[in-house]
Amino acid sequence: MLSEFDLIKQYFVRRPPNLPPNSPPGRAVLGIGDDCALLAPAPGRQLAVSSDMLVEGRHFFAGADPFTLGHKCLAVNLSDLAAMGAAPLGFTLALALPAADPDWLAGFSRGLFALADAHGCELVGGDTTKGPLNVCITIFGDVAPGRALRRDAARAGDDVWISGTLGDARLALAHYLDEVRLDAPALALAAPRMHAPTPRVALGRLLADGGLAHAALDISDGLAGDIGHILAASRVGAVLDVDALPAGPVLARQPQALRRRFAAAGGDDYELCFTAPAARRAAIVAAGAQCGVPVTRVGAITAEPGLRWVDADGAPLDLALQGWDHFTNG
Amino acid sequence: MLSEFDLIKQYFVRRPPNLPPNSPPGRAVLGIGDDCALLAPAPGRQLAVSSDMLVEGRHFFAGADPFTLGHKCLAVNLSDLAAMGAAPLGFTLALALPAADPDWLAGFSRGLFALADAHGCELVGGDTTKGPLNVCITIFGDVAPGRALRRDAARAGDDVWISGTLGDARLALAHYLDEVRLDAPALALAAPRMHAPTPRVALGRLLADGGLAHAALDISDGLAGDIGHILAASRVGAVLDVDALPAGPVLARQPQALRRRFAAAGGDDYELCFTAPAARRAAIVAAGAQCGVPVTRVGAITAEPGLRWVDADGAPLDLALQGWDHFTNG
């Protein structure tokens, strides 16, 4: 039977770590296997830290493919670094497992490390225990002082931008919940948006390092709810054009009402929503092109508080939309 | 009904944080409420990082007192910092809860912050979600380069030391499991060792800052198993005197066989086991006295690999002892 230490050694310890040659400074001085990992952040830099906990039956279906799950658990954390404009350094992994299943562990660790290696992000420590399946990752990134894309930095007059496309993750979920029916090719296109989101790390770093954006966050609970955090922290409002939202390719073929609802308040998008002065428009489009991520201008920050929606003609819309809340929705 | 954001705001956000005046440098530049926290470690220092995940029914009983649980979840993480000799800076908290119960949250957060404040350790971020009760804390500490008490630093000839006392936590558990019967005064003395361990942070810092110890770890799964990590990482062995182990005051009144077993392989002790050259004996006793924690010499590191037990007369003992393993024991 696989012991706790065999499990860690077999699936999660890798010496030397497989890092790309252009990895940022500040790697772990001491990794897995001691009471703590030791990190030496680069002098004069700040460390960005975020935790996300994913629970079976809530953030992923029971029986979810372990490779994809390994990817997703790290992706949602990398997405938080992206939303600060930080460069990934390392992460800890705490894992509660009902049993030490070698097939599951092999798939999970391969999915996890495939994404970690792509971002030069090192597993430095963690914990394993028996319990209902729960994955908690805490991630560390590196950012220059004053450059982080904070939620409290939006200014009246800023453009509001969205990376990539919205709503296809929610559309795939709707299919699984029998709310809509997608044909097989449509599901094949939408499902990876739900199961294996792509964190916009390169774009976030370009926006931060270049001083291109003011505020940013990653959209996990739906744009309509999430942008409220920027508006509250920055004490501003926004006008957003619901028809300008970049619907995913599968969602774009759905009826208008569904398209608007899932683009504006779908959830699980893991795209960046950021605000930036109008003078940066060309540079932002160039940054998007540089990392292969389309960027779309969807509205503006206003001095007047509150979120207002308009349609393609600029007419006000009364959208009853809200983000996902784990306790009131749950 | 309490929403996720109300829950965080009401129980976990505290501005300004309640920190003691002599807090170490490297506080959070940005705390709870953004995609990431931003930490600025002190220049030329290393960051020590550790995660522990506690699961209901496994690390604590269902229905455990929330104040005590808040204490314990942070205590086991502080204990990892202590075992590196690092000074606490901050932590993230990821919490899966079956429901947002205000009484539970009030108790848990009070227990958590009482201990956090005592150590100047700031809650900088985290995650809350619905799910089977699971508490995952990732903690950050500060240590001078080259001073951390690593598991691979024990040397042949070192003394082996134990802080505080061993076995009373396991004895309390034995009472709850009906393995032994303690009277009420004995249980009142032993139970806090199980429910509310005291992390040996001050002692760990003195050992590291003063260059007094070589290797260290905190004893969570029982000395017999845990010291094996030092022996393996340092490629050394040890001879330990089972009768020199500092049994807790309740365990000390139990029969010899039980006393030896629970002191050597009890678990949940959260005492430090450390190795140090004989030349440091007086300084180590003084360090213990300075922070009010007794320290006891229990054996020696040997060049020959393996762990050997002897009794008070130096006669070899064949103790069939092993640490706790979450998967093979579970």
User: What integer pLDDT is reported at residue B44 of this predicted model?
Assistant: 79
Interface test with A, best of B51, B58, B200, B201 (most A CBs within 10 A): B51
Rounded to an integer, what distance in angstroms lies between the CA atom of residue B220 and that of residue B240? 18
User: What integer pLDDT is reported at residue B98 of this predicted model?
Assistant: 93
Angle formed at CA A3 by CA B324 and CA A55, multiple of 5 degrees = 90
A142-171 core/surface letters (b: 16 or more CB in 10 A; e: else): bbbeebbbbbbbbeeebbbbbbbbbbbbbb
pLDDT digits (tens, 9 = 90+) for A249-285: 999 999 999 999 999 999 899 999 999 999 999 999 9
B3: which residues sit within 8 A by CB, 6+ positions away?
A325, A327, A328, B100
Rounded to an integer, what distance in angstroms lies between the CA atom of residue B297 and that of residue B161? 4
pLDDT band at A115 (very low <50, low <70, confident <90, very high): very high
The minimal CB distance from A36 to the residues B33, B86, B99 is found for B86
User: What integer pLDDT is reported at residue A27 of this predicted model?
Assistant: 63
Pairwise CB contact (< 8 Å): A39 & B58: no
Min Cα–Cα distance to chain A from B123, Å: 12
Torsion of CA A185, A187, A190, A193, to 10 degrees: -120
Query: Of A6-15, A320-329, B123-132, which has the strongest mean pLDDT?
Result: B123-132
pLDDT band at B19 (very low <50, low <70, confident <90, very high): very low
Helix (H), strand (E) at residue B116: helix B102-118
User: What integer pLDDT is reported at residue B320 of this predicted model?
Assistant: 66
Least confident stretch, A248-252, B45-49, B288-292? B45-49
Q: Which residues of B fall within a CB distance of 8 Å from A130?
A: 55, 58, 326-327, 330
Whole-number average pLDDT of chain B: 90
What is the mean predicted confidence (pLDDT) over A70-86? 96
Q: Which residues of A fall within a CB distance of 8 Å from B36?
A: 48-50, 80-81, 83-84, 86, 139, 141, 148
User: What integer pLDDT is reported at residue A329 of this predicted model?
Assistant: 54
Pairwise CB contact (< 8 Å): A38 & B49: yes
User: What integer pLDDT is reported at residue B35 of this predicted model?
Assistant: 84
DSSP code of residue B58: T
Min Cα–Cα distance to chain B from A54, Å: 8
> Is the confidence at residue B228, as pLDDT, over 80?
yes
pLDDT band at B276 (very low <50, low <70, confident <90, very high): very high
Whole-number average pLDDT of chain A: 90
What is the mean predicted confidence (pLDDT) over A123-148? 93
More confident residue, B78 or A11: B78
Rounded to an integer, what distance in angstroms lies between the CA atom of residue B9 and that of residue B31? 12
Least confident stretch, A292-301, B46-55, B273-282? B46-55
Rounded to an integer, what distance in angstroms lies between the CA atom of residue B101 and that of residue A206? 42
Min Cα–Cα distance to chain A from B44, Å: 7
> Is the confidence at residue B330, as pLDDT, over 60?
no
What is the mean predicted confidence (pLDDT) over B2-23? 66
What is the mean predicted confidence (pLDDT) over A309-314? 93
Rg (CA), chain B: 20
Rounded to an integer, what distance in angstroms lies between the CA atom of residue A208 and that of residue A189? 31
Q: Does the model's ipTM exceed the 0.90 cut?
A: no
Q: Which residues of B fall within a CB distance of 8 Å from A134?
A: 53, 55, 96, 131-132, 134, 136
Q: What residue segments make up the domains of chain A, in order of their start?
A: 4-143, 151-317
Rounded to an integer, what distance in angstroms lies between the CA atom of residue A125 and that of residue A8? 10
> Is the confidence at residue B8, as pLDDT, over 80?
no
Residues linked to residue A143 through DSSP beta bridges, in sequence order: A46
| CATH fit for domain B151-317, picks 3.40.50.2000, 3.40.30.10, 3.90.650.10, 3.40.50.300 | 3.90.650.10
Place of tokens 């009277």: B183
pLDDT digits (tens, 9 = 90+) for A31-53: 777 888 888 777 778 899 999 99
| A96: amino acid identity, one letter | A
> Is the confidence at residue A21, as pLDDT, over 50?
no
Interface test with A, best of B1, B7, B35 (most A CBs within 10 A): B35
Pairwise CB contact (< 8 Å): B129 & A96: no
B139: three-class secondary structure by DSSP: strand
Pairwise CB contact (< 8 Å): B39 & A52: no
pLDDT band at A18 (very low <50, low <70, confident <90, very high): very low
Contact between residue A56 and residue A102 where contact means Cβ atoms under 8 Å apart:
no
Interface test with A, best of B3, B80, B138, B149 (most A CBs within 10 A): B138
Contact between residue B89 and residue B56 where contact means Cβ atoms under 8 Å apart:
no
> Is the confidence at residue B20, as pLDDT, over 80?
no
Min Cα–Cα distance to chain A from B313, Å: 33
What is the mean predicted confidence (pLDDT) over A109-119? 95
| B275: amino acid identity, one letter | T
| CATH fit for domain A4-143, picks 3.30.1330.10, 1.10.287.610, 3.40.50.720, 3.30.43.10 | 3.30.1330.10
The minimal CB distance from B136 to the residues A53, A58, A86 is found for A53
Rounded to an integer, what distance in angstroms lies between the CA atom of residue B134 and that of residue A313? 49
Of A142, A179, A277, A160, nearest to A219 by C-alpha is: A160
User: What integer pLDDT is reported at residue B268 of this predicted model?
Assistant: 93
A184-201 core/surface letters (b: 16 or more CB in 10 A; e: else): eebbebbbbbbbbbbbbb
> Is the confidence at residue B170, as pLDDT, over 70?
yes
Pairwise CB contact (< 8 Å): B35 & A217: yes
pLDDT digits (tens, 9 = 90+) for B96-132: 999 989 999 999 999 999 999 999 998 999 899 999 9
A173: three-class secondary structure by DSSP: helix
User: What integer pLDDT is reported at residue B258 of this predicted model?
Assistant: 94
Contact between residue A138 and residue A178 where contact means Cβ atoms under 8 Å apart:
no
> Is the confidence at residue B202, as pLDDT, over 50?
yes
B127: which residues sit within 8 A by CB, 6+ positions away?
A51, A52, A53, A136, B92, B93, B94, B95
Pairwise CB contact (< 8 Å): A47 & B34: no
User: What integer pLDDT is reported at residue A229 of this predicted model?
Assistant: 95
pLDDT digits (tens, 9 = 90+) for A210-256: 999 999 999 999 999 999 999 999 999 999 999 999 999 999 999 99
Rounded to an integer, what distance in angstroms lies between the CA atom of residue B131 and that of residue B122? 25
The DSSP code sequence of A200-266 is -HHHHHHHHHTT--S-EEEESS-HHHHHHHHHHHHT-EEEEEGGGS-B-TTGGGS-HHHHHHHHHH-
The torsion angles phi and psi of A23, rounded to 5 degrees, stand at -60, 145
User: What integer pLDDT is reported at residue B23 of this predicted model?
Assistant: 45
